[in-house]
Amino acid sequence: MDMAFIIGNNIEKMREEQNISVEHMAEIVGVTRQTMTSYLKGRQVIDSGKLARIAGYFNKPFDYFLAEDHHGFPFMFRADNPKENFDSVLAEKIVRRVNNTCDLLDISGRKLVLVPESYKLRISGSRLNREEKELIEEIAVKKREDFGVADVIPDNYYQILQENGINVLAFPFDNNAVFAVSAYSAEYGSFIVINDDAGIPEERKVFSAIHELGHLIFHKEQYLQGFNYFSHTYGKKRNVNEEVANHFAMCFLVSRSLIKKYKSMFKNRDFVLREVLEVKSVSKVSAKCLIYALEYYGYITEKQKGIHIGYLNKNGYSTVEPRPMQAIKKSAYWLAVIKELFNREEISLSKISEFLEIPLSQARILTGEWYSENESEAIL
């Protein structure tokens, strides 16, 4: 990360926390407001003498302002060929979002340090065998029970994750090679960050969120192995770890009990896309996820699975979904938290702008709407 940005970001955080104006900061440093703004935005590197004045003013060690990340989140991400698909710009964006959320959790007092129970798998080879898959299935079923959705298909899986202590963030990555990442911290618990690009099917986003939950459950030790911002594995181990997370997500989203309800539709194994679409619409999963589940649960053979996947690809459904589900709003929880803080006058307009990553003018409009709502409720 650019050092000017790191220093500027750290100064800005201290300025916000102590409610100091940019003008006053400029006076402390002995520069114009315009120059101070350049420091804060990371457009210009502040010299050591001026930074020493700021460190003395805030009673912080000099090195504090050089630290890249005060929350210390180790990350792991799920993407093939990570060196090719992941760049520093996206990494910085995700780290900033997570750190801003940590600040919000601190302000709101809603910090819940909940981390999913870990399971250590002993994988015998480079691919999962049947016994290992069945063990992962058992854990997926148990996790559905823990989350209170054993026998139901929730309308919003993101909300279920949030209600069970997993912080869910979503925003467009501007990089469709990466669908989601996850983070874990002993201080702030677990995070799943979803690529909410409009071009990615909602079914893919749901699967990616549960896939990352699988990593948090089975590969937690990897979150301690930092590689720049992110931790990941290579080669055969990476492949089998991805297979573990994929199988967990499939079993979590398409349980054996769910498929049994529709077994009459698949009993002759010669079903067509119509049956798949009917069940996928109810189960809120992708067509491919459902077909893989049908093969795993014994309703179709591996050869038939290949035929059906090939049929989908041939008909243009390799990256899009047939009969796609509606997009799910993922920011409702955090908007409610921010609105509550705004009503209690515990969050500044600039902090709202920073967290939502919207211009101050848009934040003013949003808070104006909240104020009007409060006025209307008071009248009633």
- Whole-number mean pLDDT of the chain? 83
Tell me the C-alpha distance between 91 and 341, whole Å.
Answer: 28
Please tell me what DSSP assigns to residue 33. Answer: H
Mark residue 37 as left, alpha or beta (left: phi above 0; alpha: psi -120 to 50; beta: remaining).
alpha
User: Largest alpha-carbon pair distance within the chain?
Assistant: 80
| Position 329 pLDDT exceeds 80 | yes
pLDDT, position 225: 40
DSSP 166-217: EEEEEE--S-TT--EEEEEETTTEEEEEEE--TTS-HHHHHHHHHHHHHHHH
Going edge to edge, which strands form the sheet with 189-195? 166-171, 189-195, 180-185, 75-77, 230-231
pLDDT band at 114 (very low <50, low <70, confident <90, very high): low
pLDDT band at 228 (very low <50, low <70, confident <90, very high): very low
| Position 88 pLDDT exceeds 70 | no
| Position 290 pLDDT exceeds 50 | yes
The whole-angstrom distance between residue 41's C-alpha and the CA centroid of its chain comes to 26
Tell me the C-alpha distance between 190 and 184, whole Å.
Answer: 4
370, 335 Cβ separation under 8 angstroms: no
Tell me the C-alpha distance between 137 and 133, whole Å.
Answer: 6
**Core vs surface per residue 127-157: b (16+ CB within 10 A) or e:** ebeeebbeebbebbbebbeebebeeeeeeeb
| Position 54 pLDDT exceeds 80 | yes
Amino acid letter, 188: Y
User: Which is more confidently placed, 50 or 136?
Assistant: 136
Pairing relationship of beta strands 75-77 and 180-185 according to DSSP bridges:
antiparallel
Tell me the C-alpha distance between 103 and 106, whole Å.
Answer: 5
Tell me the C-alpha distance between 211 and 133, whole Å.
Answer: 15
Domains of the chain: 3-66 (1.10.260.40), 75-253 (no CATH), 257-314 (no CATH), 332-379 (no CATH)
pLDDT, position 326: 92
Pairing relationship of beta strands 75-77 and 230-231 according to DSSP bridges:
parallel
| Position 235 pLDDT exceeds 80 | no
3-state class (DSSP) for residue 81: coil
| Position 62 pLDDT exceeds 80 | no
Please tell me what DSSP assigns to residue 227. Answer: B
Mean pLDDT across the stretch 332-345?
91
* Pair of tokens at residue 95: 């780290």
